[in-house]
Amino acid sequence: MTETPAVSMGPEKDADTYLGLEYRVSLARLALQQLSPSRALSWGVKSLRMREAPNPSVESSDWTAVKPSLSGICGSDLSLLRGSSSPYLAPLVSLPAVLGHEIVGRIDSPSAPWPVGTRVVIDPSLACSARGLPPCPACQRGEPDECESRADAQLGPGLLIGYHHMLPGGWSNRLWAPTSQVIPIPDELGDRRAVLAEPASIVAEGLSRLQWDRVTTILVIGAGAIGLLTTWLAHAQHPHAAVFVRARHPHQSRLAMELGASRVFDAGGDREFVLSPELDALAGRSLPSSFGGWPFRTGGFDAVIDSVGTEDSLYQAFTLTRPGGQMLLLGGAGRVRTDLTPLWSRRITLLGSFGYGHHPFSPAKQTFHDIIALLGESHAPVERIVSHIVPLINFREAFDILNNRKTGAIKVAFSNGFDIET
């Protein structure tokens, strides 16, 4: 791991090193992943190593040490490991890095504003305030997700904790976060729910972009962790709207219904789905396709949320958004081939989303607080989205679970040697 200048973290440092699961780019493995996509994740896991490394150094003293209890494996982590990430954001990432930005843990700094052992979640963003810099124009506007200093020379490139070579993420036994971005959680909120605070905040930011006064029907494409969190939040925050879900597996369908879906479609392939007569009452009549083109429906859903981000999911989303409707990308779509004709010919509003706060509606910290409160209040079985917990030391088992469709995996999280609060 890259060694950094020795700047003291303060008197609370009781050890000089930490242990983390580090990802290091291998050009040879990236080439193998392109040649054999079916084995891409297996090759990517070979680029992970448990490493002992010096504690990181930061210029600002306003950082707090945290011992992770649970840390989720995010879709963006899997894209990186599979070698399928878009290079567009590469200038804002520094590798090698200890991954993990979905984090619940315990305070490990005696000088922190909370007692040692206090359970917390972390806003992992690395904008101006985290870097100890004067606010850039975006941060001045209250939009740190658009910060212009995420590659400043002082701290170096890094969108988030977990994508920065100096700052280990949650796949470790200790990490450091800006104190202002450490958020205590109530005792009654179990770790299995709390670890969903970060991805749920991502979803909440995206949903805040929609014009809800124009929405009575929603289609969520995908029933992985992001799709299920979208189903839950859309139903909880906008109960007037009917939420429909496109899923692939029975265990996803069952949980989607329990999280508030009005109906789940889980039969057939993608083309069979968009042509299904079951959609006629919701999405209008289907007209015959010509010359290999996509099916054309006369209507569609008011809002379609793509939580997958693939060519197939985009095909479904464009086909099933009504004329004048809204389409939201939550699935981190990267380099894909698609037909944009439905976008302009049906006057669809296409929305992107990134980060945790939609100014002026909800700054990032408020988004996390709102989500933590909702996670604590909700009687829906949200914690079941975390389908598997694997000790960090057995990390290969976690990726075997994710690579095997028979396991029923939705989200896998690493435990880090502490008793998990359920």
Nearest C-alpha neighbor of 328 from the set 313, 345, 346, 312? 313
Confidence class of residue 8 from pLDDT cuts 50, 70 and 90? very low
Per-residue model confidence as pLDDT tens digits over 189-233: 999 999 999 999 999 999 999 999 999 999 999 999 999 999 999
User: Helix or strand or coil: residue 392?
Assistant: helix
Which pLDDT score is estimated for 1? 36
Residue 359, pLDDT > 70, answer no
> Could you tell me if 195 and 102 are in contact, meaning their C-beta atoms sit under 8 angstroms apart?
yes
> Could you tell me if 220 and 245 are in contact, meaning their C-beta atoms sit under 8 angstroms apart?
yes
Which pLDDT score is estimated for 45? 94
**For the purposes of burial, counting CB atoms within 10 Å of the CB of 56, is it exposed (0-12), middle (13-18) or buried (19 or more)?**
buried
Q: Which residue has the higher pLDDT, 220 or 57?
A: 220
Which pLDDT score is estimated for 417? 63
Q: Please state, in angstroms and rounded to a whole number, the distance separating the CA atoms of residues 128 and 214.
A: 36
Per-residue model confidence as pLDDT tens digits over 390-400: 999 999 999 99
Q: How far apart are the first and last CA of the chain?
A: 34
User: Helix or strand or coil: residue 358?
Assistant: strand
Residues 6+ apart with CB under 8 A from 269: none
Pairing of strands 286-287, 296-297: antiparallel
> Tokens 């099933």 label which residue?
320
Going by the DSSP 8-state scheme, the letter that residue 25 receives in this structure is -
Confidence class of residue 389 from pLDDT cuts 50, 70 and 90? very high
Residue 272, pLDDT > 50, answer yes
> Tokens 């086909």 label which residue?
319
Number of Cβ within a 10 Å radius of residue 88: 9
Residue 148: C-alpha distances to residues 59, 97, 122, 221, 360 (Å): 19, 22, 21, 32, 19
Domains and CATH numbers, the chain: 17-198+362-415 (3.90.180.10), 210-351 (3.40.50.720)
> Tokens 């990430």 label which residue?
85
Pairing of strands 263-265, 286-287: unpaired
Which pLDDT score is estimated for 22? 96
Q: 360 preceded by cis ω (within 30°)?
A: yes
